[in-house]
Amino acid sequence: MDTTLAKISDLRANWLRAHADRAEQLFINNEWRHSVSGATFRCMDPFSLAHWGHIAMAGPVDVDAAVSAARAAFDGGAWPRTAPARRAALLARLGELVESSIDEIARTLVFENGKTFEEMRRMTQSFASDCRFFGAMAETVHGYTVSSNLPGYASYTVREPIGVVAAITPWNTPLGLLGWKLLPALAAGNTVVIKPSEVTPVSTLMLGDLVLEAGFPPGVVNILTGDGTTGAALVAHPGVDKIAFTGSTRTGTAIAKLAAERHARVSLELGGKSPNIVFEDAALEKAVAGVIGGIFGASGQSCNAGSRVLVQRAIYDEFTAALVERTRQLRTGDPLDPQTQFGPLAFRGQYQKVCEYLSIAEAEGARLLLGGKATDSAGLFVEPTILGDVDNSWRIAREEIFGPVASLIPFDDEAEAVRIANDTVFGLAAGLWTENLRRAHRLIPQLRAGVVWVNTYRMGGHAIPFGGYKQSGVGREMGIDALNAYTEVKSVWINHGE
């Protein structure tokens, strides 16, 4: 082991030793509290497989306390009536505090979900930037006046906050996807109860101290940790006015059903099986790099992963050979190592799921071009895997694997590419690789996806909405669309005549 790797190994060992018995409480009404039951659970480092921390398990009584605090801060508190400029200042201050703790937060994220330190650092920086963006947006919430067709009347609309928002976030991008919910909700004047994944709870809990330091009033931001039973109690609570969720389509469907029973608002960012389409006139090297980033970034654990790689038959063999060779060069290792490009999967359940799909691929007759092996002897690693000559009717092409598995599907012409791309229950994203911009403009409206990238993949920004068609979700996050999604529209009529 060289000196650099030895230092990284020591850093990991020291961090785990220091956090082995770390005790984390619930954050309710600007106070840290033990759960009423006293029950706790532990986190696991997906690289060393060491368990660490003791995290409070919130039960129904804790859920009720958090929702009641948020309800009081909304109904009887001043938050919805706080001047937009003040809300903007608090959000900007929160962003500053996150930036001042960026390395500590990013390192904690690495020990929670196994993504590389550099990726987690970028994600934390994005959260801070999103704080500033939505802080500025707080001062842009407005309605419009309408010319009345009735004499003696004036009419206009106003946008008002919905109320108490439950923000339920996933383990793959904990803070990034929390920011997409928390920040527009706060900017619009809502109060929030956050429930992070039990896989990645501590990075979210770290925000509690920063919320206090920033000066947010009690009850405006609350954090509950726990498993699916905690989330279910939060979704079912009658004091919650809106549920914002990112996760699996199956769970999102269950949430939508529960919300429908009491007409709670929902925004759901769910699964995907996104096509990344490579035409014969694509810039080959850029397309290969884009496909690799699209499916193997974050070890494939991303909802918008380009897991179906559609390649025009004229370049299928050439492209496949280049993709295999470039993927073979990815450096796998400790996610704390700056040289690592590919880390472990986040937790054992996800590791087992991906392994099951590798067996399914073999049974369906996929041609294994690279990878296909998994080991949990030194981290939860599944090799970057490329499967060739996949039929779009197979399970590996239709079901979300959420792992580093690319399915290559050949096509002949534009019509076939569009047919295959749209032949899915999902509609989150799509990629096009072509030097023919006329072709790109021709195909963009034909693709049933909420995001279409041309000669790039997985690009995003806080000013551009993100979300999907079909079973990929309901609503949009980021941009003005996100801010509007946390408001109700009120119409006003005034009789100013005699």
Q: How far apart are CA 403 and CA 350, in angstroms?
A: 8
Task: Identify whether 303 is a catalytic site residue.
Answer: yes
Q: How far apart are CA 201 and CA 431, in angstroms?
A: 32
417-421's contacts with Cβ under 8 Å and 24+ in sequence apart are 417/275, 417/277, 417/279, 417/310, 417/312, 417/443, 418/443, 418/446, 418/447, 420/275, 420/308, 420/310, 420/392, 421/275, 421/277, 421/308, 421/310, 421/447, 421/448, 421/449
Is residue 383 within 8 Å of residue 404, measured between CB atoms? yes
Question: Smallest Cα–Cα separation from 27: which of 183, 198, 194?
Answer: 194
In the DSSP assignment, the letter for residue 38 is -
Task: Identify whether 139 is a catalytic site residue.
Answer: no
* Per annotation, catalytic residue among 303, 383, 400, 477: 303
Q: How far apart are CA 390 and CA 395, in angstroms?
A: 10
Determine phi and psi for 156, rounding to 5 degrees. -160, 170
* Per annotation, catalytic residue among 24, 112, 119, 269: 269
Q: What sign results for the dihedral spanned by CA atoms 25, 26, 30, 33? A: negative
Give CA separation, 451 vs 10, 129, 154, 266, in Å. Answer: 42, 22, 39, 20
Annotate 188-219 with DSSP letters as a single string: TT-EEEEE--TTS-HHHHHHHHHHHHHTPPTT
Q: How far apart are CA 304 and CA 427, in angstroms?
A: 10
Instruction: Classify residue 161 as exposed, middle or buried by CB count within 10 Å of its CB (0-12, 13-18, 19+).
Output: buried
Is residue 215 within 8 Å of residue 187, measured between CB atoms? no
What is the Cα Rg of the chain in Å? 24
Q: How far apart are CA 293 and CA 302, in angstroms?
A: 11
Give CA separation, 308 vs 20, 250, 385, 405, in Å. Answer: 40, 21, 12, 9
Q: How far apart are CA 401 and CA 271, in angstroms?
A: 10
| Catalytic residue numbers, as ranges | 269, 303
